[in-house]
Structure 1
């Protein structure tokens, strides 16, 4: 955002035996995930949300009336500055109520943290990252905590992607380079520990290339998504100079391709930057009503075979974060995951569709990075004997929807089903457990 506006994971210690049958589950916390692929500790009510399409960002979050007018625009995602000591503009509109209202209009939100800036770049007046690696590391950790606190206050749930805005900096100063990379690495590790997805915004030539240069480095944790600035008027998410298309390759990219200018839709003019996204964004809960005439059972997974974990009274409100396939109830096999991590059949919830999935609710997914150095083979079923149907590059996000037992690979029989229907061995995915199932991912 321009001025003035705006298989290393397998080293985890595992000592418990696991039984992969029925509903047996062992979930290990990612206590000290190894770089570059560190596991994400998604809590029970988490899910990731992604957006593919045109977006814009503005220095100040616009009024709700403006967003309503801009329903006439080609944009359906909006970048908002949620936190950071170097935020340029005030955010009088940016409240939890605003986030809920904008989300109800089917807009996706891109949370931005504009915190400390490179010691050899950005504006001279900006608060800067320390050139001491130890201090830079603690600053990155603190930045993640600050961003998560702000995001939670706005109703952005675990599983949301938070983007750290790192402005342009000199590419020739090694001390500065180390400070920035250390800060970003700590930001990523702390977000993963808390259960959020890590994003970074950088100038393509004055920052992002250096991040790409350490893509496989065991010194730094790799962020999950990269948002570049390159004002060439081209909105392509491929062919970035100095960054191979195999890096951040699976719904992990965004590009800001035009800087500050005015656009008008619905009779309302805004000063914006243009963006193209295919990347994770914020996750929010959407309220709906229970339509059953008797108490609705909530279960620990998306099926009537899972244990009952609670009930919801007829006519009561439930907060849905995502939808998942499960056992059929009435006219639908869709189940709604609630913000407390439980599931209810969509047959008894007032979502728009009575038979399928309902926008703007996302599908329940849990992205983790691929750890296989040479890329990970995707197969048609949960085993090495199934047909190869694709490949996920090293560092790509495996958008996991569920897990099931299959053939043994390494120390595990767990296979992850991706949102494209393919399967990959969990041995090569940075989930919290290296031997068994990882909560909160359900069984297939």
Structure 2
């Protein structure tokens, strides 16, 4: 990516653009299963075989996904520039280069928690990218690199640093964070192993801290190698891929180096046009263009209590759950997402707060008092599908008809709530997905394959 101060070198090949991007930056469960439920709240990352490793979501979290065009620049644009582009440009996603030892435009004067809140409040979705250590065979001149020997350690440390930097900006658990892996020489077999080890360690580090793991890769190096080991039990599979191919084609299918069955559901982005300038709303920016259908940053939005008496915040989305704390009338609430729960007056929507508690949306100043608000994501806790093809059904059991096409292995199952259903192997838990269909929890990688997985709520 030219203007991105990436690298001085430009490596072309026959399939796509040069190496560089600008560094812009139970009750109801069987007795044996129920006995385990009390352990769930205290679970840490369990031992799990690759390639599907579970994400340990925090209580005040959710996954947010984008489905539209985006752009990236070296420095995060000013809020004034974003406001000028919002509504006048075709874009609703903006990339942020939020850390990494090899990041260009390291000063990032605009990239603060205040900027993040302002951008999200204006309607933008954020695509966080971390430019850390690079493979030793990377084309270009980046100084800080890893080999097969230290790739796992580098991936783990970069993942930990990325999580810390994301939290400092207010980018919450459930967010997708993307490691930038630049184009490299695939004839170096040791280096290819190093990339796979780095990405695997990055993925497990993020999952252990409650974040989804993405990678930015070149079509003819990183994407090809990760595709080749998609089902390998030696490496943790990232949740999403962002591929660079500057061919002007924004399609997220038909990629020549990864079949459509891989990273198939809100798990892909493509950088389809490199360095160029665009002017919208009277403001000109030097950008790359992207199509993003993938996890992005989750942030909290501020709303106020509208009730005339103290509002109860509960441990679940119904009045049957215990009261954790109360909020005074007019108090500010940090809302992460919304879910269905007990009906209260005009609405069945409940709001999840950053501390993991729930309040009825009836008494919160969100845009809607009767249904879901478009400005807030639905609460969802994705886990990768662990079998080659998983049947989704219209209800929580095998007696219900199949719904739609089976889900390929590695698909992100966006779980919104859980309910007791047909016993499948060791679990009676079934997951309702964002599209309303149901899958057995046994075949979704999360914190348990026998009982409930915190912090997923029970279905109403």
Shorter-chain TM-score range: over 0.9
So what's the TM-score if we normalise by structure 1?
0.95
**1:417 CA displacement:** 0.6
**1:116 CA displacement:** 0.6
**1:24 CA displacement:** 7.0
Q: What does the per-residue CA deviation read over 1:275-299, in whole Å, with 9 as the maximum and x for residues that have no partner?
A: 0011000000000000011110011
2:417 maps to: 402
1:124 maps to: 141
Q: How does 1:312-323 map to 2 (within 5 A)?
A: 312-323=327-338
1:290 maps to: 305
The answer on whether the counterparts of 2:134 and 2:142 sit within 8 Å (CA) in structure 1 is no
So what's the TM-score if we normalise by structure 2?
0.91
**SS of aligned partner of 2:190:** helix
Q: What does the per-residue CA deviation read over 1:243-278, in whole Å, with 9 as the maximum and x for residues that have no partner?
A: 110000011000000001000001010000000011
1:62 maps to: 77
Q: Distance in 2 between matches of 1:182 and 1:202?
A: 15
> Would you say 1:299 and 2:314 are equivalent positions?
yes
Aligned length: 431
CA 1:147–1:136: 2 relative to 1, 3 Å = same
2:389 maps to: 375
1:334 maps to: 349
**1:25 CA displacement:** 7.5
CA 1:230–1:96: 2 relative to 1, 3 Å = same
Q: What does the per-residue CA deviation read over 1:173-224, in whole Å, with 9 as the maximum and x for residues that have no partner?
A: 1100011110110000010001000000001112211110000000000000
The answer on whether the counterparts of 1:25 and 1:436 sit within 8 Å (CA) in structure 2 is no
**1:20 CA displacement:** 8.4
Q: How does 1:2-21 map to 2 (within 5 A)?
A: 3-4=6-7, 5-6=22-23, 17-19=32-34
Point out where structure 2 has 5 or more consecutive residues left out of the alignment.
8-21, 24-30
> Would you say 1:438 and 2:453 are equivalent positions?
yes
Q: Distance in 2 between matches of 1:414 and 1:30?
A: 19
Q: How does 1:237-386 map to 2 (within 5 A)?
A: 237-372=252-387, 374-386=388-400
Of 172, 193, 196, the residue aligned with 2:208 is 193
2:152 maps to: 137
Q: Distance in 2 between matches of 1:20 and 1:229?
A: 48
Of 115, 118, 128, the residue aligned with 1:101 is 118
Give runs of ≥4 in structure 1 deviating > 4 Å: none
Q: Distance in 1 between matches of 2:343 and 2:140?
A: 57
Q: Distance in 2 between matches of 1:20 and 1:357?
A: 35
Q: Distance in 1 between matches of 2:389 and 2:339?
A: 27
**1:123 CA displacement:** 2.0
2:16 maps to: none
Q: Distance in 2 between matches of 1:362 and 1:24?
A: 29
**SS of aligned partner of 1:81:** strand
**1:354 CA displacement:** 1.3
The answer on whether the counterparts of 1:106 and 1:359 sit within 8 Å (CA) in structure 2 is no
2:132 maps to: 115
The answer on whether the counterparts of 2:96 and 2:126 sit within 8 Å (CA) in structure 1 is yes
**1:93 CA displacement:** 0.4
**1:416 CA displacement:** 0.6
1:12 maps to: none
2:108 maps to: 91
> Would you say 1:82 and 2:120 are equivalent positions?
no
2:238 maps to: 223
